[in-house]
Structure 1
Amino acid sequence: MDNELIKEESWWKRNWKWFVPLGGCLTMIILFVVFIGSVFFGVTNALEKSEPYQVALEKANADGYITEQLGTPIKKDGVIQGNYRWNNGQKSAEIKVPVAGPKGSGLLYVNATGEDEEWTYTEMKLSLDKTAEVIDLMENVEREIAPDNY
């Protein structure tokens, strides 16, 4: 009787045929997801740091009627949507920002164009989700604060 030990092949020699294609495909998928995620968060971060976004959010927080409807503080409540273009000093922004406060939520719209450091706002409004009321933030009109009927 022959009692010789049979030397077993290494893990790599036994499994390379399935590991190489699977590992390569999985690596490509992971790299693609990381790339898309970094682009998404980079664009979102750029929109959040833009002056039109910051000015509109400040105006919403400073408006007494809006703070009565939504509560304070009013903060971003979701993913910013829109376009921000900058080409040879000419810039434009078309942004939609979901916002919310302790009492409610809404959608903030901002359209602006600019040159160098100057911005000209063509539209800045807030649409309240609860009442579907649209409030123009470009008007400097004092609005009467309605009592709560809830």
Structure 2
Amino acid sequence: MDELIENKSWWKRNWKWFLPISVLSILIGFGSLVTAGIDANVTDFAQAYSDPALYDNALEKVKLNQRVKETLGEIEAIDKLAIVEGTTKYSNNNTSVETTIRIKGNKAKGKMDISAEKKGAAWEYRKINIRIKELKEEIDILK
């Protein structure tokens, strides 16, 4: 008797384990790439989140500016989500910071750019700018 022995291809024999392992490997590789660049940012965000004086003191200076009042109106308090959505970069053993967060007034919204150095327990501001995208305007708070 001649029986025909059919040899299955490698894919037909092994797809049940190969496919899930391949997908899992791709997800782990992608996750590793994404988190590799986030470690420093997470630390910076956490520090910025835990230091509300950095933003609150800058916002008080912004609220005193007449051009900001005319353009944005009454500025709302900065919420914690604005800090997370923004960008923050600490340097010099966490004594210098460059940060950008959104601010919102009752007339318009914008971005607040801050550059500051910590002197003792207080922040000394080198730059506070308000950028208003709709008007393509930038207001320098520390003239």
TM-score by length of 2: 0.58
Residue from 119, 134, 142 that aligns with 2:139: 134
**Percent of residue pairs identical:** 18
Deviation at 1:33, TM superposition (A): 4.3
Paired letter, 1:121: Y
Aligned pairs, number: 123
Distance change in 2, residues 1:128/1:74 (3 Å): farther
In 2, Cα distance between equivalents of 1:115 and 1:53: 16
In 1, Cα distance between equivalents of 2:111 and 2:59: 11
Give the equivalent residue in structure 2 for 1:21.
22
Give the equivalent residue in structure 2 for 1:53.
55
In 2, Cα distance between equivalents of 1:18 and 1:131: 51
Give the equivalent residue in structure 2 for 1:91.
95
Contact 1:126 1:134 in 2 (8 A): yes
In 2, Cα distance between equivalents of 1:47 and 1:86: 15
More helix as a share of residues: 2
In 2, Cα distance between equivalents of 1:64 and 1:115: 24
In 2, Cα distance between equivalents of 1:17 and 1:102: 57
Give the equivalent residue in structure 2 for 1:70.
72
TM-score by length of 1: 0.57
